[in-house]
Amino acid sequence: MSRLLQKLALVSLLGALTIPAVAHAQANPNGDRPNRTQRWEQLNLTPEQRQQLSSLREQDKAQLKQLREQIKAAQTQLRQLWASNASESQLSQQQAQLNALKQQAQQLRFQQSLKLRAILTPEQRQQLQQQRSERRQQWRERGGAESPN
């Protein structure tokens, strides 16, 4: 009977230690890194700016999603061509198509950045730039190949 009580005590202790860790992970699934909402809150946006940013995100959301799907399909096609007996010409054409899609997505993100820049005050832009620099540094410290924006 004493062994049973020891096991129950151990299970209870492990459960009690696990609950705070799970609660913390749910509160901030990215660990110490703030999520997008928290980063926007740090900029002290006005209600008007919040509305403009929300509209901006929605404007190009469908187009970006479509481009991401096309890029994924083009990457899959390129991998399949590499695995087959495709000619250099076919591989080059597919790579060019993939590059063009990536360029379109990059251009769309650039246009969004310009629109975002127009919404923010100079101080907010500076704060946003600082946040991005910090995220890049954290990414490098974790061994990321390319730094995120």
Q: pLDDT tens per residue, the chain (149 residues)? A: 667 667 666 666 566 555 555 554 555 454 555 577 787 888 989 999 999 999 998 988 999 999 999 999 999 999 999 999 999 999 999 999 999 999 999 999 999 999 999 999 999 999 999 998 998 998 888 887 655 55
Closest by CA position to 101, among listed 148, 49, 63:
63
Closest CA to 117 of 48, 65, 53: 53
Q: What are the structure tokens assigned to 148, written together?
A: 């995120």
Confidence (pLDDT) at 52: 94
Give the per-residue pLDDT at 40: 80
Q: Contact, 132 vs 149, CB < 8 A?
A: yes
Give Cα separations from 52 to 21, 42, 43, 118 (angstroms): 37, 17, 14, 10
pTM higher than the cut 0.75: no
Burial environment of residue 126 by CB neighbours within 10 A (0 to 12, 13 to 18, 19 or more): exposed
Residue 21's pLDDT is what? Answer: 52
User: Token digits for 3?
Assistant: 């062994």
List of residues 6+ apart from 33 with CB closer than 8 A: 135, 138
Q: Which two tokens stand for residue 24?
A: 């913390």
Task: Note the pLDDT of residue 38.
Answer: 80
Question: H or E stretch including 82?
Answer: helix 47-83
- Evaluated on CA atoms 113, 116, 117, 118, the torsion sign reads positive
